[in-house]
Each structure stands twice: as C-alpha cells, then as structure tokens.
Amino acid sequence: MPHTLPDSFDQCDPLQSALYTTLFTRRDVRSQFLPDAIPDDVLARLLTAAHYAPSVGFMQPWNFILVRDAATRQSLHQAFSEAHLEAAAMFPDEQRDKYQRLKLAGILDAPLSLCITCDRERAGKVVLGRTHMPEMDLYSTVCAVQNLWLAARAEGLGVGWVSIFQRERLHQILGIPDNIQVIALLCIGYVSHFEATPELQTKGWRKRLPLESLVMENQWDQPLPDAEFRQLIVQTQLSAEVIAHNTNNAVNESLLTTPKS
C-alpha cells in the first residue's frame, strides 16, 4: 500500500536507519533454515554482541553452549517433541488443531543450536541493582538473547527461540548444573527467505497489537491525552510494518536470484 514515512524514520541517518530496519525485519524462524555452516568469524561476532548486553550490577550472568553435534541436536528435538505433545493438550479444541499444524522448532534443520544460560550466583548473594528485584539477572540474560538475535538478522541469519521443553531434560542432555538456569534454546542458520510478516500472524494465530492502545500516561489505564501524539504513534507503527514488508521482500528476491556456491 502507498505510504509516506513520518519524519521520525524518513529523516534518519544511515546508522539509525540500519538499526530500525534490523529491528523491524527480525523474525522468529522455524521453517526455512538452510544447512550451510555459519563461518567462525560471523559466530564470533554474534557471541560478542550477546556478551555486550547490559546486565544488572555488571554481573554478566550468561554462558553460551554451542551445539553442533547431530546426536545431541536429535536429543534436543526429542525433548521438544515430548513437550510439544503435552502443550497441544493444554489448548482448547478450536485452537489445538491450529497449534499442531504450526512448525515450532527448527532444531534438526538449522546447523547450530545455542543454549544461553544464567548463573544467578556469579556475582555473589548481594548484587548491585538486584537487591529489590532479584529477577533482574534473568532479564539481563534475555537482553543478551536479543542482542544476539538482532546481530544475527544484520548478518543475514535466522534465529528461532525454542521454549517448548522440560527444563530438566535440557539440563540432562547438555550436562547443565542444577544451579544454572536455562534461559533460551536458539536455532541459528542461514535461511531461504525471511517472512515479510511474522509467521504466527500470517497463519492466523495472533495479530500485532496496536501500539497506541498499550501506551499510558502518568497512571495505569490512563490513555494518552494528546490526540496528535497518538496519531503519530499509529503512523509510525504503520511505517514500521511497511519497512519490514518491503525490506524482507527485497532481501528474499536477492536470496532467490543469488547463485548458490
């Protein structure tokens, strides 16, 4: 659809534009991984990006387990499959069939699985910034996941976050100590294409919520009083959708026409 970018994007400098484009075109990838190996220098950049995430009290509670071994990835996939069956039974009948038709993990398709963990004891019992919100170390590790995810998108790599498993099974498969908490199991690899729209939205699971309905001012449940600012938020979100759609479609055309080595 025709659309004019608002000033907030149209006047961005190249660095800003690159960042916003990366944010808006990031996707949770499950179905389109290619078997091509990730070069070591690219992987080193992704891990470095993750390690430079903010962390409460600068405790840097994360560790990264690279899983390339086929047998280990098969065990991870089996753990997912067991939990997937359990999860299907939790949905009402009208959602269960749709849930079972979704592909929710690319563990066997992607060339690399990455488990990111949180060591909650790394900085001792009393941690600056965690004294009243002890869960901040978990949130810090999620920031590392997001850093890596965005860096991967900038590198042309897809990432899928697998959260359907029993934690105990991952601890067993990967030999993770009991005091270490699993935060994310990621599938990472090059892809045949990037979805222009999030896959769960395309397949009718959920739609993206309108941002203006989620923003309040001063107090809970007090909507923004400035109608002009509300409209700017609407316009800006529409522009983000256009950027994502146009960019991913352009990338897909390039991927389809680039000769394979």
CA distance 197 to 21: 14
Query: Per-residue pLDDT tens for 230-248?
Result: 999 999 999 999 999 998 8
The better pLDDT of the pair 97, 55 is held by 55
State the average pLDDT for the chain.
91
Query: Please, are residues 137 and 144 in contact by the beta-carbon 8 Å criterion?
Result: no
Whole-model pTM: value is 0.90
Query: Per-residue pLDDT tens for 26-51?
Result: 999 988 999 999 999 999 999 999 99
Token pair belonging to 113: 């699985």
Can you tell me the mean pLDDT for 75-79?
95
The better pLDDT of the pair 106, 184 is held by 184
Query: Per-residue pLDDT tens for 114-132?
Result: 999 999 999 999 999 999 9
Q: How many CB atoms lie within 10 A of CB 53?
A: 17
| CB burial string 122-159: b at 16+ within 10 A, e below | bbeeebeebeeeeebbeebbebbbebbbbbbbbbebbb
Using alpha carbons, select from 160, 121, 120 the residue that is nearest to residue 139: 120
Can you tell me the mean pLDDT for 88-114?
87
